[in-house]
Amino acid sequence: MIAITLGTRPEIIKMAPIIRECEQQSIDYYLIHSGQHYSFEMDQTFFDELRLPRPQYNLNAGSGSHAAQTGKIMAGVESLLLENPPEFILVQGDTNTVLAAALAASKLHKPIGHVEAGLRCFDRRLPEEINRVVTDHISDYLFAPTPEAVKNLKNEGIDQNKIHLTGNTIVDAVHQNVQISCRNYDVLEQFGLKSKEFFLVTFHRPENVDSPATLCELLNGLNAIYDEFSMPVVFPMHPRTKKQMTAMGLSPGSIHIIDPVGYLEFLQFEAHARCILTDSGGIQEESCILGVPCVTVRKNTERPETLLVGANILSDCSSGEMVEKTHEMLERKPDWVNPFGDGNAARNIVNILDHSG
């Protein structure tokens, strides 16, 4: 029996291949939805869209301070593990859900498997870095997506017998979900776009959207890119970011702001974009897998593999550098080798646990 814990949509996406693999191999499991970002009621459509079974347990943790949210999830997970003891608990990534579930399992001496272990941006000011480091050091099975992640774990003195190079489940997810998307959506027709003739933008990190000066600079940079390349700049903007932009009196200029779209629709946007500008870790991976150039507007990244293969480049938020880095990415041929595995990560992970049980 495997307990699979998730609480945000990126976790659902990356755990989906493992859930499907458990179903295929008839391995018993149950799902714990923490409700870190959304209540389960809001996520029901998302599970249906990805053709996943709905979680058996919902903690409805909601928002709050890091301590309050982590504590609430930890207490809920502890109660469920006592009520329905699993052989293993799986967590994925670097959220408060991951840290809370791992801590609860550790104190009950339940074996923990950390999916996407070993990622590091080496900036302890970021809560995600704290979450992933602590989780790695209390986990029993570290499912590292790349050799770089393996190296990070070994450098921190973690027992190499706990470390397994499996590939990243995001590769499995992209391949599986693109097929579902193509059967249900046609975003090019819906939004009047042509393949490889538009830029796709997504920014959500507080350091980029909470400061008026930074957000203004970002918008100026995106407008400069529109002026330089004469291609639509499509920005599915979160309501919170849009509200802040309006409150700050900032104009979108030539940027084509649209309402947020579903994950399957967004995958199509990614696949057809000429280039993506983002601050998202998951989108850095997806663009790399899909063969789409990426400009990451951040000081660092926990996905250095995308930089090493030439699929991604870092930029600050100044107009000049954003245009320069976009030029550089457009000049590269998208013929890099995907560093995140062959699409069999979920099978590798489930097989390791099955042989350990």
Q: Are residues 110 and 221 both part of a single domain?
A: no
**Is the confidence at residue 198, as pLDDT, over 70?**
yes
Instruction: Say what the pLDDT of residue 179 is.
Output: 85
* Percent of the chain's residues with pLDDT above 70: 98
Q: Are residues 132 and 186 both part of a single domain?
A: no
Q: Are residues 206 and 112 both part of a single domain?
A: no
Residues 246/251/255/257 CA torsion (nearest 10 deg) = 20
Q: Are residues 239 and 131 both part of a single domain?
A: no
Q: Which residue range is the domain that position 155 belongs to?
A: 2-168+341-356
Quote the tokens at residue 16: 């989906």
- Backbone phi, then psi, for 115, in 5-degree steps? -80, 130
Q: Around 339, how many Cα atoms within 13 Å sit in the side-chain half-sphere?
A: 19
Quote the tokens at residue 223: 């407008």
Instruction: Say what the pLDDT of residue 260 is.
Output: 87
**Is the confidence at residue 37, as pLDDT, over 80?**
no
Q: Are residues 126 and 13 both part of a single domain?
A: yes
Contact (Cβ atoms closer than 8 angstroms) between residue 12 and residue 47:
yes
pLDDT average, residue stretch 281-293: 95
Respond yes or no: is residue 66 known to be catalytic: no
Instruction: Say what the pLDDT of residue 40 is.
Output: 58
Query: How many other C-beta atoms can be found within 10 angstroms of the C-beta atom of residue 159?
Result: 10
**Is the confidence at residue 42, as pLDDT, over 70?**
no
Q: Are residues 184 and 320 both part of a single domain?
A: yes
pLDDT average, residue stretch 315-324: 96
- Helix, strand or coil for residue 344? coil
**Identified catalytic residue from 164, 204, 238, 327:** 204
Q: Are residues 322 and 351 both part of a single domain?
A: no
Note the pLDDT tens digit of each residue in 237-264: 987 788 888 888 999 999 999 998 888 9
pLDDT average, residue stretch 292-314: 96
Beta-bridge partners for 31 = 4
Instruction: Say what the pLDDT of residue 62 is.
Output: 79
Whether residue 11 is contained in a domain is answered as yes
- Residue 26 belongs to domain with CATH number: 3.40.50.2000
**Is the confidence at residue 188, as pLDDT, over 90?**
yes
Contact (Cβ atoms closer than 8 angstroms) between residue 294 and residue 315:
no
User: Which stretch of DSSP H or E encloses residue 225?
Assistant: helix 212-229
Lowest mean pLDDT, pick from 72-76, 95-99, 120-124, 239-243: 239-243
Lowest mean pLDDT, pick from 29-38, 72-81, 99-108, 148-157: 29-38
Whether residue 336 is contained in a domain is answered as no
Instruction: Say what the pLDDT of residue 330 is.
Output: 97
Beta-bridge partners for 144 = 165
Is this model's pTM higher than 0.85 or not? yes
Instruction: Say what the pLDDT of residue 41 is.
Output: 59
- Helix, strand or coil for residue 6? strand
- Helix, strand or coil for residue 251? coil
Q: Are residues 204 and 148 both part of a single domain?
A: no
Q: Which of 42, 45, 46, 51 is nearest to 19 (CA)?
A: 51
Whether residue 303 is contained in a domain is answered as yes
**Is the confidence at residue 212, as pLDDT, over 90?**
no
Q: Are residues 30 and 135 both part of a single domain?
A: yes
What's the whole-number average pLDDT of the chain? 93
**Is the confidence at residue 38, as pLDDT, over 70?**
no
Which 8-state DSSP code applies to residue 3? E
The rounded distance, in Å, linking the Cα atoms of 222 and 235 is 10
CA of residue 104 relative to chain centroid, distance: 23
Q: Are residues 108 and 10 both part of a single domain?
A: yes
Whether residue 105 is contained in a domain is answered as yes
Instruction: Say what the pLDDT of residue 171 is.
Output: 96
Q: Are residues 152 and 233 both part of a single domain?
A: no
Q: Are residues 137 and 181 both part of a single domain?
A: no
Whether residue 213 is contained in a domain is answered as yes
Q: How many structural domains is the chain composed of?
A: 2
Whether residue 113 is contained in a domain is answered as yes
